[in-house]
Structure 1
Amino acid sequence: MNTEQKTNKATIRIYIDGKEMLYSHQNIVAAINNFLPYLTNDDLDEMKKTCHRLKDHRKQKEYLAKLETLKHSWPYPDTIKQ
């Protein structure tokens, strides 16, 4: 059985005044802020939920990374004299 991994390779290009906008954090935030007035209240509520879930997920991953770092930091558990 051939198990090819299918990936979605969507290309998004944003043009402002006929010029393609370069991808940078500052430009992406500006584009999002410019679209906000055109969203409905339901859209904004859904976006708020999505942002909240994303932040919770990031906090959880950060916490797990800190635990992993502590597990492998000096002094190593097997070098502690009891």
Structure 2
Amino acid sequence: MAQMLMHSLTEDFRLDDQHDHYRDADDEVVTARLAGQEPPHAPEPRSGPVLDLMAMLQKRPCCAGGTRYEQGHPREPGSGRRTG
């Protein structure tokens, strides 16, 4: 199964088709600095809605308060760990 996965990930890969955008941007900065010019700046990051991840997690039934043991799970905390 692992060989099938590796084959499916590599069969259409061509290194010549890949383009290194980071290197291009780095070359632009170095060239500008060597010429005594102001180097180009990175584009402004896109902003989107800010999500309150803690509030979202607390709304989930599995995380809605209490420990796992208090929520009716049969095992006590730590009982599933292997030792040794």
Task: Using structure 1 for the length normalisation, give the TM-score.
Answer: 0.28
Give the number of the structure whose residues are more often strand, by fraction.
1
| Relative contact order, higher structure (CA 8 A, sep 6+) | 2
Give the number of the structure whose residues are more often helix, by fraction.
1
Task: Using structure 2 for the length normalisation, give the TM-score.
Answer: 0.28
Instruction: Give the greater-gyration-radius structure (CA).
Output: 2
